[in-house]
Structures are given as structure tokens and as C-alpha cells.
Structure 1
């Protein structure tokens, strides 16, 4: 199975850049109801994943950052604690599944290290569930 089967392409993924402001990050995450989103460089390279927790800890530990001035601070200043490791588009399913066990989504990059989308863990689980159901149904029919 090719992991491209599970891919949500970049143009459908909510992403931020390292130059996005804290306010933009908060607003996009709230609007889409996401707890984590990929962060890209201006050139389109995957940098990491920003989470609600990263933002909350940054606000808590920064005396000069408030919700009122969040539009003046960039994501590049926020430490990202979640290390969502990307896979290449030609990665095998074993690599994809091993990363999905500890990440809500797996970022996917091409051979030029350009971010091309994500594979959500839920898509992998749904696929595996269907395979198990189909195998179980086939086993029951052969009896």
C-alpha cells in the first residue's frame, strides 16, 4: 500500500509559517478546532508542529507576551515540544504506522524536503479496521 492513498494534500491542510503571529495561530486553531498544526518555513519546508500546549506554556512563561499583544510575536519564538517526525512520500507503511502510534498526524515531505501534506492517524486506523473486518468476514464465509 502506498502512503499517498492516505494523504491529505497541503492545500487542504491548515498550516502556519514560522512568521505567523501567535494571534494568527490561536485564531486558526480555534476556528478549525485543532489542537496541533504543522509549521512550515517560508520556503515550504516542514519545521515542526505547534500545539495548544506550546502556546499556553509560552504565554505563561513570557512576561511580555499577552493576548492583547499576541499579534506582535511570531511562532518562531515558541518552543515546540511535540516532535512530529515527517516521512517521505515513498516511505513504507511500517514507517508510517510507527510514527502514527505516537502522533495524531504524520507530516509527509517530498524528495526536496517540501511539505506536501499529512496522513491523519484516524485514516490509518479506519483502513486497518476495514481490513480486519473484511478478513473476519471472509473467514466467517469460508466456514
Structure 2
């Protein structure tokens, strides 16, 4: 199976850039109820993953930082603690699943390392669930 089957294209992905502010990320993550988002640089390359934890650690470890002045903090200045490893669009299912075991989403890049979307672990699990139980239901009904 081609992993592109599971791809959520970039146009449908909520992501941030290293030049976005902490406040922009907080508000966007809250609005979409995400705990992590990909970081994409100005050339379109995946450069990392920003998590709620990264934002909380920055807030905790910066004494004068409060919600009001998060608009002065750029994401490039926030240490990240998780880096979801990407796969190439032509990768096989084994490579995808080996990463999805430990990542809520797997970034997907093209041959030039340009970010083209993500594959959500929940979509993989949903597909497997349907395959297993639809097949099982057919066998049981015979």
C-alpha cells in the first residue's frame, strides 16, 4: 500500500513557522485543540515539532514571561523536546508504522525535503481497525 493513501495535505494541516510568535501558536493550538504542530521554515521544509510542553517549559523557565508578552517571543527561540521524524512520500508502510508507533503524526516530505503534509496515527489505526473488523464480520457471517 502507498502511504499517500493516508496523507493529510499541507493545505489542510495546521502548522507554524519559526518566525511565528508564541502567542500565535498558543491561540492556534487552542482553537484547533492540538497538542503539537509541525514547524515549517520559509523554504517549505519541515524543521521540527512544537508541543504544548515546549510552550509550558518556556513559560515556566522565563521569569518575566506571561501571556500578554508571549507575542514578543518567536518560536525559533523556544527549545523543542520532540522531533517527529519525517518520511518521504515514497516510503513504505513499514517505515511509516515504525515512526507512527511513537508519534501522533508523521510529517511527509518530497524528494527535495519539502513538507507536503502529515499522516496521523489515528488515521492508520482507523484503517487497520476497519480492515480487521470488516474482514472478521464477513468471515463470521458465512
What is the TM-score normalised by the length of structure 2? Answer: 0.95
1:51 partnered with 2:48: no
1:103 partnered with 2:103: yes
Unpaired runs of 5+ residues, structure 2, are: none
1:117 corresponds in structure 2 to: 117
Q: What does 1:27-106 align with in structure 2 at a 5 Å threshold? A: 27-106=27-106
Unpaired runs of 5+ residues, structure 1, are: none
1:8 corresponds in structure 2 to: 8
Question: How many angstroms apart in 2 are the aligned matches of 1:15 and 1:82?
Answer: 15
Question: How many angstroms apart in 1 are the aligned matches of 2:35 and 2:2?
Answer: 27
Root mean square deviation of aligned Cα:
1.1
What is the TM-score normalised by the length of structure 1? Answer: 0.95
Shift of 1:65: 2.5
1:57 is paired with a residue whose SS is helix
1:118 is paired with a residue whose SS is strand
1:128 partnered with 2:128: yes
Paired residue total = 142
Shift of 1:125: 0.2
Deviation >6 Å, runs of 4+:
none
Question: How many angstroms apart in 2 are the aligned matches of 1:72 and 1:104?
Answer: 29
Higher mean displacement: 20-29 or 126-135: 126-135
